[in-house]
Copies of this chain bind each other. A is one copy, B any other.
Amino acid sequence: MLNNYLNVRGYTLSLCQDLQNEDFGLQAEEFVSPVKWHLAHTTWFFETFVLVPHQKSYRLFHQDYSFLFNSYYNNVGERVPRAHRGLISRPTVKEVFAYRKYVDAAMSSLLEDGDEGELADLVTLGLHHEQQHQELLLTDLKYNLYFNPLRPSVNDIGEYPNLYEEDWIEMPSGMHKIGFQGEGFCYDNELGFHEVFLEPYAIADKLVSNADFEEFIKDGGYRNSNFWHADGWAWVLQTGREAPLYWEKNQDSYSVYTLQGTKALIPDAPVAHVSFYEAAAFAEWAGYRLPTEFEWEAAAPSFDWGSRWEWTQSAYLPYPRYQKAPGAIGEYNGKFMINQMVLRGASVATSPHHSRVSYRNFFGPEAQWQFSGIRLVKDH
């Protein structure tokens, strides 16, 4: 457990190694957070939920940090308004690194003494929580730096994995087991292991590519309301979008902002940074549809996944017998089960070993700043 703790915590720092001090505080919109806040908030989680209740001799690093770096845990005191996170210039980056070091030392000492039962569960939860913030740290950072006309490079995480042959995987009708079962960690939203009856369907073994999506654009996809949900069409009209986030039109081609700065679009790479509205409109235009999250989970062992979070046509709802845990930790998932769509899989920005076939990611239908892509399904 201690090794695992140190690995995950160290990976967070490794994501920041090419940043300037000034980059840590950026917050371009309310829905993204500064890197500094991610660094401190994940640390606050261990301090508040592990060290304070389980380490008698522990003394808070700073009494104000609980207020400054709490997030949506309404049960744990007041919070800095989300839109103001970028305004907290002090504590400085250096002080936040010191905070991490202080908490890591206390955690190391605690974990050396043993890691049984509830303590182990809490630490595991904290590490998965930190891994989620690792991905957000990257996607938020990309979004924040995009507002700089100089379009800086962030790190060397490649956005474009290799691809496989295109084919349809046939799935017969029948009962399928859904949700997490067995050993190891999962989130509360994966529990309620249950059976679902599915009609027959076929699912693509590869993701929609940039070239595919460019065809949609050229065919007037963003100008024909018939392809869109009513809310999706309103979103197009209001935002004026004509391509995925980060795409920039040149004369006859597109370039795209990546974690290495602005680059030419790679046609064969899977499209990224599309909203659910765009994913659904593309599927409609192509004559197919998105999978349900159950269809995705049932077929996932038969295809490669992991370079893009894949939009499903399932709303984010509780599984049967879903119970929220009592107290602050329990706020975790149930409270978000409205106005969100499920994404399955993982992305190039997801931390190693963080996802699994039953993992349920979720965002509002307009979200584009994650590495989100499209897999198609057809009915029989």
Task: List A residues at the B interface (Cβ < 8 Å).
Answer: 20-26, 28, 64, 67-68, 72, 74-75, 80, 84, 86-90, 92-93, 144-145, 147-150, 152, 175, 194-197, 199, 225-226, 228-233, 276-277, 280, 313-315, 317-318, 320-321, 331, 334-339, 341, 365, 379
Interface residues of chain A: helix, strand, loop or mixed (majority): mixed
Residues of B contacting A339 with CB < 8 Å?
231, 339, 365
Closest Cβ neighbor of A197 among chain B residues: B197
Closest Cβ neighbor of A224 among chain B residues: B74
CB pair A313 B317 closer than 8 Å: yes
Residues of B contacting A379 with CB < 8 Å?
320-321
Nearest chain B CB to A106 CB, angstrom units? 23
A197 to B93, CA, bound (A): 53
CB pair B86 A86 closer than 8 Å: yes
CB pair A335 B230 closer than 8 Å: yes
CB pair B22 A90 closer than 8 Å: yes
CB pair B233 A74 closer than 8 Å: yes
CB pair B148 A26 closer than 8 Å: no
List 11 extra interface pairs beyond A64-B149, A90-B152, CB under 8 A.
A20-B90, A20-B92, A21-B92, A22-B25, A28-B84, A75-B226, A84-B147, A277-B338, A280-B338, A313-B317, A320-B379
Could you list 14 A-B pairs, sorted by A, with CB under 8 Å? A20-B92, A21-B22, A22-B93, A25-B89, A26-B89, A75-B225, A80-B149, A87-B144, A89-B145, A90-B148, A194-B199, A197-B197, A199-B321, A229-B335
CB pair B23 A89 closer than 8 Å: yes
A84 to B145, CA, bound (A): 11
Residues of B contacting A28 with CB < 8 Å?
84, 87
The residue among A80, A147, A195, A379 with the most chain B CB atoms within 10 A of its own CB is A147
Q: Which 7 A-B pairs have the closest CB atoms?
A: A315-B315, A22-B89, A87-B147, A74-B225, A230-B335, A23-B89, A229-B338
Residues of B contacting A72 with CB < 8 Å?
230
A230 to B92, CA, bound (A): 30
CB pair A199 B320 closer than 8 Å: yes
CB pair A24 B26 closer than 8 Å: no
A199 to B74, CA, bound (A): 33
A378 to B1, CA, bound (A): 39
Closest Cβ neighbor of A72 among chain B residues: B230
Residues of B contacting A23 with CB < 8 Å?
89-90
Nearest chain B CB to A338 CB, angstrom units? 5
Residues of B contacting A75 with CB < 8 Å?
225-226
On whether A226 and B74 interact (CB within 8 A), knowing A22-B21, A197-B195, A231-B338, the answer reads: yes
CB pair A338 B232 closer than 8 Å: yes
Residues of B contacting A337 with CB < 8 Å?
229
A88 to B339, CA, bound (A): 33
CB pair B147 A229 closer than 8 Å: no
Nearest chain B CB to A121 CB, angstrom units? 21
A33 to B259, CA, bound (A): 28
Residues of B contacting A84 with CB < 8 Å?
28, 147
On whether A22 and B92 interact (CB within 8 A), knowing A313-B318, A315-B317, A338-B231, the answer reads: yes
